[in-house]
Amino acid sequence: MNRRLALFLVVSSLLFLVSVAFAQEPPDVIKLKKDMQIDKDITVNDVIVIDGHATIIGRVEKNVIVVGGSAFLKDGSYVGGDVITVGGKVFKDPYAIVAGRITQIYVPVLIPALISILHGGWISIWLALGALIFLGLAGLALILIAIIPQHVNTVVGALEKSFLGMLAWGILGVMLIVPVAILLAISIVGIFLIPLEILIVALAMIMGCVSAAIFIGDRIFLSTRKATIPIFNAILGIVILYLIGFVPVVGTLVRLFLLVAGFGAVLVTRFGTSKR
């Protein structure tokens, strides 16, 4: 009886400590189309704001990423990682602390430019859509690198270790998408799993595209022997993926091979959770 009571107390204590540890971990804050403010004496993990502004008065343990807005770092605020803005600026007060880098990616006034482009014919519209896709991928790269950096690094590492192997797995994965959907459609339960398959494939494609872009950027910066951060590699890689699409036939094939290889690396590493 005493042994059971002692075991119960030990297990209860461990569960309590684990729950307290998780409760004390600061949360991530993500806002869409809305301004966000971290007040004084508030601590969060990552801050991501899309189409809005971020005002930091309290403490951010990791990164502050703002797409389509500006970041305002007030006196007494602390950011333990990087501060990155796309299409906005970083306004830092003298007594605000940023442990990492401050990066401002400038984007021209986008909406008026797109409105004028729409009057320029189908070629201009196609170029504008390409620019929007580029900005969307850049934003996704920022989010993935901020939220799951280790997972992304694992996928990129798989590409660096065996690009042709990941390409082969990617081709196999693409070939199995339709057969798997057909098998799921045979049963009633499987029909409800088809949207889940589509979601998994879409997420794998997005993560594979970002990872392939970082892989390209890594190769280029490695040849110049310049140290940089993953987001720079990702943006450079996305630019290259965008530009090579203008090369007839060959450019499209190269882009396709890179994206399929990235897709394969995501599948092999199980979304970066398992090192190959």
126 Cβ neighbours under 8 A, 6+ residues apart: none
Q: Which residues does residue 267 pair with via DSSP β-bridges, in sequence order? A: none
128 shares a domain with 94: no
Please say which residue of 80, 105, 130 terminates a domain: 105
Q: Is 2 among the domain residues?
A: no
Give the total number of structural domains in the chain.
Answer: 2
C-alpha distances out from residue 27 to 21, 22, 50, 188, 251, Å: 13, 10, 18, 38, 42
Alpha-helical segments (H) within the chain: 2-24, 110-117, 122-147, 149-161, 163-186, 188-224, 230-244, 250-268
User: What is the predicted pLDDT for the residue at 139?
Assistant: 73
Same domain, 137 and 46: no
Which helix (DSSP H) or strand (DSSP E) does residue 79 occupy? strand 78-79
Domain-terminating residue out of 105, 121, 143: 105
Tell me how crowded residue 231 is: count the other CB atoms within 10 A of its CB.
24
Of 65, 81, 105, which closes a domain? 105
Name residue 118's amino acid.
L
Tokens 């991530």 found at: 28
State how far the Cα of 49 lies from the Cα of 38, in Å rounded to an integer.
12
Buried b (16+ CB within 10 A) or exposed e, 73-85: bbeebebebbbbb
Q: 169 and 67 share a domain?
A: no
Angle 175-217-145 from CA coordinates, rounded to 5°: 75
- Residue 52 is classified by DSSP as S
Read off the pTM: 0.57
Assess whether 85 and 220 both reside in one domain.
no
Domain check: are 139 and 253 in the same one? yes
Q: Which residues contact 185 (CB under 8 A, 6 or more apart)?
A: 191, 194
Residue 218, pLDDT score: 79
* Cβ-contact 239, 184 below 8 angstroms: no
Give the per-residue pLDDT at 108. 52
- Shared domain for 45 and 85, answered yes or no, is yes
Buried b (16+ CB within 10 A) or exposed e, 52-61: bbbbbbbbbb
Task: Kindly give the confidence (pLDDT) of every residue in the chain, 276 residues in length, as a single tens digit, with 9 standing for 90 and above.
Answer: 455 544 444 445 444 444 444 445 677 788 877 898 999 888 898 888 877 899 999 999 988 888 778 999 999 999 998 888 877 889 999 999 999 888 887 655 444 444 454 455 554 555 556 666 666 777 777 777 777 888 888 998 898 888 899 999 999 999 998 888 888 888 777 788 888 888 889 889 888 888 888 888 877 766 555 556 667 777 778 778 777 766 777 878 888 898 899 999 999 999 888 765
